[in-house]
A and B are shown apart, each in its own frame.
Chain A
Amino acid sequence: MSAGADKANDGRPLWLAVVASPLTMRLACLGAILLFWELAPRMEWISPVMLSTLSSTVMIGFANIDVFLANLGVTLGSLLLALVIALGGGAVVGVLLGSIRPLRNTLLPIMSSIYAVPLVVVYPVFTAWVGIGVESKVLFGGLYGFFPMLLATAAGIRTVDSRYMLAARSMGATRVQVILHVMLPAALPSVISGVRIGSALTAIGVVVAEMMAATAGIGFLITQNRTMFNTAEVYFGVLLVVVLAGTIDWLVSVFERRAADWYPQKVRAI
């Protein structure tokens, strides 16, 4: 290796730059976790009844892949419907509450109080009303993600810099033009963080609902195998939920990079 290549990064040796790069570090952490997962039950640091080894989890999972995929499909279907309620409903109500002062002053505090309540406690009541079919988990998941989406949207609308609105009005913008060309774009970063939290919570809501009372879905599968002490199946289900959550988060960041590239990423809250 030449001296020049050695000093590629801030005068640090190249090998150090590669080893200390965030990506390398992230992969190393992931590798360590996976290694621990394999070794801990194998070496009996953790009882195999509590935690199955990574290899047996994956093997059991792929042996029953058709069952898992069918249930994952059920979960995804419910999740998509729940996301429509959470993100669509939250955005519409958020815009209304954020921009109409009387509504904002009366309803917004109530909404943030409801958001602070752990909604899981009302799920039994919920199932009494709508049963334990698809409707209940769609509604429950939707409700779970609805409040953070609503609050983030309303906050984004409410905190739009008043200079932008004055400038737009002085240039002749109508009320509708102000909403379309100033308020919504200005609120976008906050709305996207609402999408991020809202969709994660919607996924939690759907899976939790499936775990508590359902007849199909990944959450149902996890609970069912749990009662039968099929540890490996339980963990494969968990693994699928993790992959699902990671995929949603990745999709949101792709959307964020495209939609709000004018927004300094460093300031992003969550």
Chain B
Amino acid sequence: MVMITYVEPNGGRQEIDVPEGWSLMQGAMSNGVDGMEAECGGSCACATCHCYIDEAALALIPPAADNEAAMLENVVAERRPTSRLACQVKATAALEGILVELPAAQS
């Protein structure tokens, strides 16, 4: 398990133990975290699992592949350098304790 702190759009924090190998989207959806839509179910086809990863953690995560980079263009909330699609980021031991912030809008 990897403990991830999700910051919901209203500022609420949820500390969730996400099984290693699950995506950060899956961890949120299976645990009732607010602020994630994930219309496409994790196939990198909807851009409604937009999140901001805390800057320090960004270096621990493989950079976005082409399909994620392309789909990120479709996010509706402000796109920042820390923007990622949560369905494309896997929980690994290295991410223990990181903050994942969810934007006010996904669609």
A and B held together in a complex: no
